Structures are given as C-alpha cells and as structure tokens.
Chain A
C-alpha cells in the first residue's frame, strides 16, 4: 500500500494565483516525520520543510505555508501568489521512527506557473 499519496499529478496556475498541493499519508507509528521537497527543472532535490508528528502547528515561510492535520492524515502545502520560479515537481515524504530514517515518497505533483 502506498504510504504517501499525492493525488494531483499535474497542476497549472496563472502567476499570482494561490495553489495548494495535497499530501495524504498512512502510518501506524506514533512518532513520524513529514517532509516536502522541491525538484526544479534542473533536477536537484531541495529540502523545504520537516514536520514532527507531535507538532501540529501550521507553519509559514514567506509565500509558503503548510497545514498538518493528524485527524485526516494530511500535510498540505500552499503557495501564495505563485511565481514562475515555483514551477517544479514537489514531493511529499514520510519517515517513521524505528526504520533507519527510511523515507517513503509520494509520486510528486508537477506544478506549472504560467506567466
């Protein structure tokens, strides 16, 4: 079974629009970590954020915000006022305590921001 589901394969938005990328995860562990990575067209993987299972506070970093809800097993990522430089593939990932920090990645959401 897929531990991390990113149901949105591709999204296109017009510049300055807000966009939310969905991530749903599955785990039986009580301690786990959730992540978002960005993969721009150049191909590298850029770490964006880590969230611990015991910290449900939402986080904002500039135009980026993350909504962690344990009740729905979701960790969604919102980009406000999108820009062309936000065009990339975004991956959500899960790590469970006690598995050697093994990461489980979603299949990614490709975001295109149209100028």
Chain B
C-alpha cells in the first residue's frame, strides 16, 4: 500500500463545468502522475510532477491542467469538461529506493461528463 487516495471516487458532471480531481499521498513521494484509462487505449499519461510546482505534460494533456502546491497533493483540473473526458482517472506515484523505477496507483476516479 503506497498510501495513495483519490477524491472523489465517482463524479457525474455536465459539459462545460470545471472539475478538479485530487490525489493525496502520505509517503513523501517526489514524482506523481495522472493517467486516464479508456477502452482500447490502456492507460495514457496526462501530466506528471517531479516536485512542488514542477510539472510537465504527458501524451494527452490537452484540456487538462495540474497543480502541485504541496508534496502530498497533486490536483488535476478540467477547466471546461467535455464528453470526451469521460474516463477513469488514475493517480500514481514513483516508488522509493529499491522501487524507484516502479509506479504504484491509486484506486481511480470514475468521471462521467454528460
């Protein structure tokens, strides 16, 4: 258990509304990641962070922004949600020491945009 929680776990929203998903970790991991999972695509990286206020884009970053003001929290924001952003969102952390090249995932957030 890497101490990762995501909130909310489920959300239904309407097109055009802003949405923020939160990833929280308790073990001082430096690297954090946001992925989306869609049928036929596996998991795809949206954004990642390599420290407080240090973030970078992933493969599918359009329409998403992130913020990391504290080590323990990594926020994913959809400024104006669209139906194509209906997905399951996973947060992940990079492990420590012997697990440094591994990623461990949170429980996921199921987002539906109507």
Residues of A bordering B, CB below 8 Å: 4, 6, 33, 35, 37, 43-45, 47, 50, 52, 91, 93, 95, 100-103, 105-108
B92: chain A residues at CB < 8 Å are 103
Most buried by B among A35, A52, A102, A106: A102
**1/0 contact string of B12-36 vs chain A (CB within 8 Å):** 0000000000000000000101010
B94: chain A residues at CB < 8 Å are 101
Q: Which of A50, A100, A106 contacts B102 (CB 8 A)?
A: A50
B101 touches A102 (CB 8 A): no
B40: chain A residues at CB < 8 Å are 107
A108 touches B102 (CB 8 A): no
A100 touches B42 (CB 8 A): no
B48: min CB distance to chain A, Å: 6
Cβ < 8 Å to A, chain B residues 22-58 = 31, 33, 35, 40-45, 48, 50, 56, 58
Instruction: Please tell me the number of chain B residues within 8 Å of chain A, measured between CB atoms.
Output: 24
B90 sits at the interface (CB 8 A) = yes
A103 touches B107 (CB 8 A): no
The SS class assigned to the B binding surface is: strand
A44: chain B residues at CB < 8 Å are 105, 107-108
B101: chain A residues at CB < 8 Å are 33, 50, 52, 95, 101
A46 and chain B: residue at smallest CB distance: B105
A4: min CB distance to chain B, Å: 8
A91 touches B43 (CB 8 A): yes
Contacts A/B (CB < 8 Å), 14 sampled: A6-B42, A33-B101, A37-B105, A44-B107, A44-B108, A50-B102, A93-B43, A95-B101, A100-B50, A100-B56, A101-B103, A102-B48, A102-B58, A107-B41
Residues of B bordering A, CB below 8 Å: 31, 33, 35, 40-45, 48, 50, 56, 58, 88, 90, 92, 94, 101-105, 107-108
B96: min CB distance to chain A, Å: 12
Q: Give A52 to B102 CA distance when docked, in angstroms.
A: 11
B98 and chain A: residue at smallest CB distance: A50
B45 and chain A: residue at smallest CB distance: A102
A108-B31 contact, Cβ under 8 Å, with A100-B48, A100-B56, A101-B101: no
